[in-house]
Structure 1
Amino acid sequence: MGKPRKGWREKDASDHWNNQTDDQCKRFFKVLIGDFRKRLVLPDKLALHLRGKIARSIKLESRSGHTFDVQVAKNSGRVVLQSGWELFISAHGLKKLDFLVFKYDGICRMKVLIFDPSGCEKVPPCFFTKNAINGRQRKEESFDISSNYAKVANISSSSCSPSESSGGSTSSEEHEAHSVPSYILPRGTSLTNVQNKKLEEKVQAICSEIPIYVCVMKKTNISGEHQHMRFSGEYSEAYLLFREKMLMLHCHGKSWEVMCRSQVPSGQCKFQKLCKGWKRFACDNNLQWW
């Protein structure tokens, strides 16, 4: 039996890798650690083999079927997913130690499966923002807003409860999620039976992992020069942990940019309010007060 030629092992391994490329079956995984929100470093072996073949922009497709345009760049000699990656992170509510499995499905597309630290696949968000689907690059949060009875607007995060993804034991975070109410009303707010029924239906459809804030429109919300919508201090401290941020409000398939800003009146608790852009949103959606 002849002696194998020098380098046959390397060639065989290379041919195997090439065959995988041709079959579009490249797979790799990443555990989200460190500064994962700004960029994701691709494996060196994948980057080396696909050198010159990877497009400058690649589409990430999640379990939901939606795609996100992410820019491919070089950073300190490494190939990274950068611009647009932060939007993918935000849209899926990814957290530290989440486990992502990528399938390289062609020159400009990767399919992504997402698992939580317990090893269970995470439930895809119930809805995505129009900007997220189009891959627009903005530092903004997404909120879904609907007028449940022409006078009631609800605001929620765009993600489902993780506990729905598995039938096994629940984590401490999942228990904590179940201990909070599905929605929150400002003190002193009362709804009619019709409003309560519509609200319950909407809350179940949204499937939010944080409580939905429900606000009954008052005259100050939708009339006058300085129209705004105020969140209660308790809700602001628990779920709106920023000083100022541009949000995207979505209603009936359309989007509005609205500034959310913290305010601390003298002798009162800090609260957040929707201000710049809110007037246009209220007008376009014909919100009414009572």
Structure 2
Amino acid sequence: RISKVMKLEAPDGNVYNIQVINDLNKIVLRSGWAAFASAYELKEHDLLVFRYIGDSHFKVLIFNPSGCEKEVFHIVMNHTPNLPEAGISHDRSFLKETRHRDCESRDNNSRKTKKMTPLYSPSLRSAEGVTSPEDTLNSGGLRETTKPRYVLAMGCNLTTVQKAEVNALVRKVRPAIPFYITAMNKTSMSGSLVICKDYAAKYLPDEDQFITLCHPHKSNIWIDNLKVITDGSRMLSVGWSCFVLHNELRESDICLFEVSKNDGEVTMVVHSLEGAHHLQGERARISKKAQISS
């Protein structure tokens, strides 16, 4: 369905005409591709996301190997007619379509309230690390099982304060898909995070897929390849490592993954709670202050 000329629209709004040929049922980009690659300084292992918008026209996002979007400044193309000559294109609607909500609008109450069942905090964890729902009695005296609002990874133990913070966040967000909650450890700090198979089988894609990671209070996004590993668990790697670095996560911090799906695209908004390191630091500060006072 692709014609002999493909249009690539770069993040700054410039459109490049690329000649293509079909080679063994694969589309090969020829004349014009070198100019595109040179203009945006593409390097080995850069990640490009192509979004087809019809009529052999694609919009392109460019990420570096760590999963962070490259900073692309507007490039003036005097030889191409009918293109903007200054400024940066802000048409990012195709990015927003991959998110269930705008990550920047978390605190201004712009989110529409969804009708959900009353909140019930899960209290039990199965052998696979998945929190079981609580049972409640209805008016007829029959037991009803309510949908859990969050799932704890095995080994993730919340303090009383953290539980209160989690419950408050659940009430605020009312997630359609239960939060996945895990504690940062040496493995997840070093660059890979595994999501348990029971949660993954129920709420995540059943094959490798690029997903979007974002912070609830920042506009940045990170792209990662969510991989299905041998036992059925899912793993985040390179993009997750970049997220950890840029958001200064530390060992024992608690991460809550808010998963949303839109037209097959998966977004994870990652909320974080300070872990034991913060409590130890606070205790040390108070102790030092007491010593100075004495």
Q: TM-score, normalised by structure 2?
A: 0.39
Report the structure, 1 or 2, having the larger helix content.
Answer: 1
Q: TM-score, normalised by structure 1?
A: 0.39
